[in-house]
Structure 1
């Protein structure tokens, strides 16, 4: 009998639509898989078995009634716990929202339901999406299915690990500085950051409002494109949403799968091919560049000189916006409340609540951001960082006048051991060295597996101009067609 958990999302949808299996059978198979392995992986914070089976029955009833099903109907999906889900706990990996059940769905979740996907539950993450390893979750770390002693990336490690462990064929992440792509790279899965504004932030618990971007995660490029198509598009409830249709990402993925990149010009980012990356990562990257050239792509070197300042600029801009956004968690309006015994002032209750509710990384970034925004320092820090952001955007603009897309490794290193970098925040921040520039620019980028180093996955990053998301899918699918996909050791 076919193991339903090993099928692609497209294959599952096809079987459900043809009546060769039912959405309930598919859902139960994945729930059983979660029950079997997630105690070791800890990809999920909450599994909504009852809600998932009810949604699956709804899909089966629609099919039996002769309704046309969408391209993902009946396919299970895991959702990062940063997106609100009506009646289903949304904690953002934090104690300050432990047990909170939102009264509404985020736009992304609404669109998932409308597409007929089946939400299995909510995945683990670094608290408030602040981290690069999922070790900063208040509910314990997620483990990488390739090696349970290593990290699955962050902040969306739960969504990536669920894919690699075959607990779900699709998942949703959010990318502020690389939190979709970096977990994808270290777990051997595909993670795509759409153009900022191409997917709605309505119902996404905010970390850094000018950077946060929800997006698709999958085990192959076509599945990621199908999910992107389902969740993308204009949302009038999000003031930053782009009033334009989603680029034809599915068509681009299918075109790329043919393995023909004739006429496509790719730029290797000079600043990301020198010092700083592990030799095994660079070797896998170079082999993949050669493979793309054999498929017909023209490869050129492109210098983006201000990319080297992206990391410090990001760690001023993102914490500053986080300081503002997280001010709402005050122990008064919702969430955790500590010390409200009638004998303490509002300020004391707020202080005790935030002390108990926020973890060390969130506190660190709130303090950095508050300082950067404070009187006398705003222009010196936050203002200067925004100027650097403009220079990085100009680098991208100039580069895309010469090439169709930029390429680089996704991360400088493979998955590192759990606990090896938590004592040194800077070493942790380096995990996002190659992904951050795209967030500051606002364009789309995707990570696709390109090989192994020391038996662990290496990610290949493709960056495209804003609203040219289809370009990255074409190149990613072409690379996938020649290097294949990667399967972790059996759990």
Structure 2
């Protein structure tokens, strides 16, 4: 059988649908690939071998019985360890939930199962999704398959690394400030953040409730669109879920793949021009813009004056919400419990548990958020940040009156060496400089590979209006049709 691990999800689904390969064969091939290379990549925190093979056997039985299956039936998927999975460990990259096996599936996982995908396991991540390099995982960093001495991005570096290492054809991430798109950019893969509320947060362990957005990761735009269609849509169990159908992202990706962007107006954000992007990133982006022009797109400059305040606003809003959400990890109800020797008060046990269970970046953000919400400082910090968020939303609204979508580099730099930025939180935070505005606005964004800089991938970001996710897929697929996909060196 041809090496299925090198195939796209669309190709694999075709093999399974026609019986040219069984779901079990496909799953086993990917499990073998994980066993062969993940010791060098550390993309997975847990590989569910038995569960994956059982799900694959079920798909084969249903196909043999003549059941009509979905377009991704039999395709393996890796799931970021921020989503609950019944009976399968969910750690969120933290010691405070080490060994916890949830009693229920998140809505995203339910929909993955309903679509007939085969869950291979749970992928590594920065603890509680707080980071841009996966170096803040309590279980060691993931590594970039392009260069295993470099980071694969974060917080969803495990999902992106699994794709780039051909350990899985599809993966799920979550994006709070760029945690799907930035890893996609630095690993040469595709990462899409849907419109906030377009994918369910039920069963997503919360970091920042007004920003967290689960979404698809893949090696091609069409594969990402197919996964988006499978997991998206209204969920009554999530109070922030939008009661509207998912835009036809699959049709948009197929339209974009024709390479025709005639009539499409794209805006380049002026304020992103002087933000210190590496020369190689700027060069690759400019070449991609020229390519988009050749495909028929009209390119205009758009000023979004308040985008320059997005980073500081985000680092007040997100930590504030995190300090509230993470209060539930108290050593009483679930997870780690430290110091309970019968001689300590409940408050002491809670304090010892949180001290032992949380890593330094999580503690930093809890303290930032608690301070920003404290009496006497709420209006000066959190309140002001929310006002900035409103101004950024108005910038997007005004921009989309003039253009169909905005484009920018996804991140200012290519994958940096492990350890290069861990001692300087601000330099780490700059990784999300171009992605954070979309989270504050709530609109969709996608990163698609657009070139290389010194042999490392560069991503182009497409940002669209809320509920216009299809627009970003069309543009991304058109660019992909012209520049192709990018394959890392063999591991």
Normalised to the residue count of structure 2, the TM-score between the two structures is 1.00
Aligned 1:307-322 pairs, distance under 5 A: 307-322=307-322
How far did residue 450 of structure 1 move? 0.1
SS in 1 for 2:446: strand
Deviation of 1:335 after TM superposition, in Å, equals 0.4
User: Displacement, 1:274?
Assistant: 2.0
Which consecutive segments of 4 or more residues in structure 1 shift more than 3 A?
none
Q: Aligned partners of 1:388 and 1:426: how far apart in 2?
A: 20
Ranges in structure 1 where 5+ consecutive residues have no aligned partner = none
Q: In structure 2, how many angstroms separate the alpha carbons of the residues matched to 1:420 and 1:261? A: 40
Give the superposition deviation at 1:69.
1.1
Q: 1:384 to 1:107 in 2, by over 3 A?
A: same
Q: 1:391, CA displacement in angstroms?
A: 0.2
Distance 1:223 1:275 in 2: 32
SS of residue matched to 1:384: helix
**CA offsets 1:433-485 (integer angstroms, 9 cap, x no match):** 00000000000000000000010000000000000000000000000000000
Structure 1: how far apart are the matches of 2:210 and 2:418?
Answer: 30
Tell me the CA shift for residue 5 of structure 1: 0.2
Alpha-carbon distance between aligned partners in 2 of 1:186 and 1:118, rounded to the nearest angstrom: 26
Q: CA deviation at 1:276?
A: 0.9
CA RMSD for the aligned pairs? 0.4
- Give CA-to-partner distance per residue, 1:404-452, whole Å, 9 cap, x none: 0000000000000000100000000000000000000000000000000
Over residues 54-101 of structure 1, what are the superposed CA-to-partner deviations in whole Å (9 max), with x where a residue is unaligned? Answer: 000000000000011100000000000000000000000000000000
The offset of 1:272, in angstroms, is 1.1
Q: Using the alignment, how far apart are the partners of 2:273 and 2:465 within structure 1?
A: 21
- For 2:184 and 2:273, locate their aligned partners in 1 and report how far apart those are by CA, in whole Å: 20
Corresponding residue for residue 281 of structure 2: 281
Aligned partners of 1:398, 1:443: CA distance in 2, in Å? 14
TM-score, structure 1 as length reference? 1.00
Deviation for aligned residue 1:155: 0.1
CA distance in 1 between partners of 2:186 and 2:223 (Å): 19
Q: Deviation string for 1:153-173 (max 9, x for gaps)? A: 000000000000000000000
Q: In structure 1, how many angstroms separate the alpha carbons of the residues matched to 2:7 and 2:485?
A: 13
**Aligned partner of residue 334 in structure 1, secondary structure:** coil
- Whole-angstrom CA distance in 1 between matches of 2:211 and 2:154: 16
CA offset at residue 273 of structure 1? 1.9
For residues 240-296 of structure 1, what are the alpha-carbon distances to aligned partners after superposition, in whole Å with 9 as ceiling and x for unaligned?
A: 000000000000000000000000000011111224100000000000000000000
Q: 2-side partners of 1:142 and 1:67: how far apart?
A: 39
CA distance in 2, matches of 1:205, 1:107: 12
Counterpart CA distance in 2 for 1:106 and 1:204 is 7
1:326 aligns with 2:326: yes
Deviation at 1:371, TM superposition (A): 0.2
Could you say which residue in structure 1 is the equivalent of 2:144?
144
**Structure 1 residue matching 2:59: 3-state secondary structure:** helix
1:172-201 alpha-carbon deviations (Å, 9 max, x no partner)? 000000000000000000000000000000
Deviation of 1:339 (Å): 0.4
In the alignment, the residues of structure 1 paired with residue 392 and residue 324 of structure 2 have an alpha-carbon distance, to the nearest angstrom, of 24
Q: Which residue of 2 aligns with 1:224?
A: 224
Alpha-carbon separation, structure 1, partners of 2:215 and 2:143: 21
1:411 aligns with 2:411: yes
State the alpha-carbon separation in 1 of the partners of residues 259 and 169 from structure 2. 24
SS in structure 1 opposite 2:443?
A: coil
SS across alignment from 1:462: strand
2:238 paired with 1:233: no
> How far, CA to CA, are the matches of 1:320 and 1:52 in structure 2?
38
